Amino acid sequence: GLPVSIDIDFNDNVWITLLDKNTIVKFMPSSEKFETFMPPTEDSQPSAVLVDSFGTVWFTEAAAGKITKLDPETGSIEEFVPPTGPMAEPFSLLMDEDRNIWIGEHIGPKVTRFDPTLHTFTSFPALDKKALPYGMTIDKFGNVWFAQHVTDNIGVLNPDRGNMIQVPVPTQTSF
């Protein structure tokens, strides 16, 4: 399989997405055993994985444009799609202090906030249409910073105000 993302839960189990196998794998180091989970959508390409503060496993399905919730106790899986339709290659995840899940829509190009309680989506388009949002982090003020693959800029989103800026990265040549 092609492992794309990894996270560890409170029991030290390792969760891995296998993009090409349409599988989420749980590795239990204490027993050296693996358990596999399959999303309901065929060929959905599980990509990013995140274990939240309640132990719930969240992952994105890049080809299907969904965010998915996996209950590790029961193995039940629930998929979510924005009312406007599937996301455009959701490939990265991040959780803020309010438990909102941030999704980098790689070819969106946008950053989308998912509220796991209300099951609502709010999208913020990148300023550059070629941005390809990917890796993300949150600063102490709650701003979401995101890498952009093919530009010489980093995007910075203030989600409270909904405004965004780009920070130029000094480089000799663009990727």
* pLDDT recorded at residue 175: 52
Task: Return the closest-CA partner of residue 37 out of 87, 11, 72, 61.
Answer: 72
Residue-wise pLDDT tens digits, 61-113: 999 999 999 999 999 999 999 999 999 999 999 999 999 999 999 999 999 99
Strands of 90-95's sheet in order across: 90-95, 101-105, 110-115, 120-125
| Residue matched to tokens 């800029």 | 153
Residue-wise pLDDT tens digits, 10-53: 999 999 999 999 999 999 999 999 999 999 999 999 999 999 99
